[in-house]
Amino acid sequence: MLEGFGSRAATFTADVDQAIYINFVLSIVLFLSVVAPMLYFAWKYRESNVKDENIENIVHHTGLEITWTVIPTLMLAVFFWYGYTSMRTLRTMPDAASSITVQVEGKKWSWNYTYPANANGYVHKTAELFVPVDQNIILEMGAPLNDVIHSYFVPAFRMKEDVVPGRLTKQWFNSTVIGNYDVECAEYCGTRHSYMLSKIHVIDRATYDAWFNSDAKAPAGFEVAMSKGQEVFEANGCNGCHSVADDSILVGPSLMGIGEKKDAQYIKDALATPDKVIAEGFSAGIMTPYTLSEEDMTALIQYLKDGK
């Protein structure tokens, strides 16, 4: 676990916390104002304390009725106001020209990010999000048509928005604190829902720019010794469903040793038309077709062959 609810890492975090805090305190006031009189009356009018002839039916009390209409209405107005204003901050997208817009794809069961092309025309595709500190970031989010609803949730920023197949949803943030933050899927989406995680790395501007303008896989300090093939495997979310290092079954069959058992064509077909040949003991319709570039495919097949 990285930074979560314990940190306040985005510009609107304090607004959201204030709305939650005010709603929480008012809810306690409401709760006590109902439950405390209830307990008091139960005690005061207990059977041994009241005689039948003392019981009087009160038909109407205008003062009371006005009180219990006006006070809760005012409280609701306060709930609404703080909820509405902080919601509006979250839902009003900043000016796109001065923001960085990243495409986010959520699918069973991984997240991936596609950046706009840099000056050299290179498009970064990553499994974790890298952004500069103090910068407006817009996330344009979607899921493949044959997938299910997910939700992109960043506890440290207090932001969450559904990711819906066939629909574009947006979310923005501006993080003021350099650090690494958890991203979770907050909409139950099947077997590996709880492993549908990602990270946001908020880094300094110079490191971000140097990385963005290069074709390096990750900014300085985040490089992982990973073969091209493994990168392709992880950036496409294959690791969400397939193990390679051992024979454990996540969702699909383990791919350990498949590069030896099957030829390259078999793997290409398994990616292009997963439902044509179904691995024994598994069902169709779970793995979606993938179209990889020639280069990525070669690296992937190499990786499945010798783990490099």
Using CB under 6 A as the criterion, which residues of the chain lie in contact with ligand HEC when the complex forms? 108, 236-238, 240-242, 251-253, 255, 258, 267, 270-271, 274-275, 278-279, 282, 286-287, 290, 300
Q: What is the DSSP string of 110-153?
A: EEEEEPPP-TTS---EESSEEEETT-EEEEEEEB-TTS--EEEE
**Residue 189 touching Cu ion (CB under 5 A):** yes
Report the amino acid identity of residue 9. A
Please say which residue, 30 or 251, places its beta carbon nearer to ligand HEC. 251
Least distance to ligand HEC from the beta carbon of 199, Å? 19
* Tally of residues, the chain: 308
Q: Are strands 129-132 and 197-203 parallel, antiparallel or unpaired?
A: parallel
Please give the structure tokens belonging to residue 41.
Answer: 């009356």
Please say which residue, 150 or 259, places its beta carbon nearer to Cu ion. 150
**CA-to-CA distance for 44 and 237, rounded, in angstroms?**
64
Of residues 105, 94, 175, the one with CA closest to residue 138: 94
Helix (H, G, I), strand (E, B) or coil at 222: coil
251 binds, among Cu ion, ligand HEC, none (CB under 5 to 8 A by kind): ligand HEC
Least distance to ligand HEC from the beta carbon of 223, Å? 22
196 binds, among ligand HEC, Cu ion, none (CB under 5 to 8 A by kind): Cu ion
274 binds, among Cu ion, ligand HEC, none (CB under 5 to 8 A by kind): ligand HEC
Least distance to Cu ion from the beta carbon of 197, Å? 10
Least distance to ligand HEC from the beta carbon of 116, Å? 24
150 binds, among ligand HEC, Cu ion, none (CB under 5 to 8 A by kind): Cu ion
Least distance to ligand HEC from the beta carbon of 308, Å? 15
Please say which residue, 15 or 296, places its beta carbon nearer to ligand HEC. 296
Least distance to Cu ion from the beta carbon of 151, Å? 7
* C-beta separation of 90 from 12 below 8 A: yes
**CA-to-CA distance for 293 and 137, rounded, in angstroms?**
28
**Residue 183 touching Cu ion (CB under 5 A):** no
- The CA-CA-CA angle for residues 131, 159, 250, to 5°, reads 80
**CA-to-CA distance for 82 and 105, rounded, in angstroms?**
31
Here's the x/- map for Cu ion, 115-154, by CB under 5 A: it reads as -----------------------------------x----
**Residue 164 touching Cu ion (CB under 5 A):** no
Helix (H, G, I), strand (E, B) or coil at 38: helix
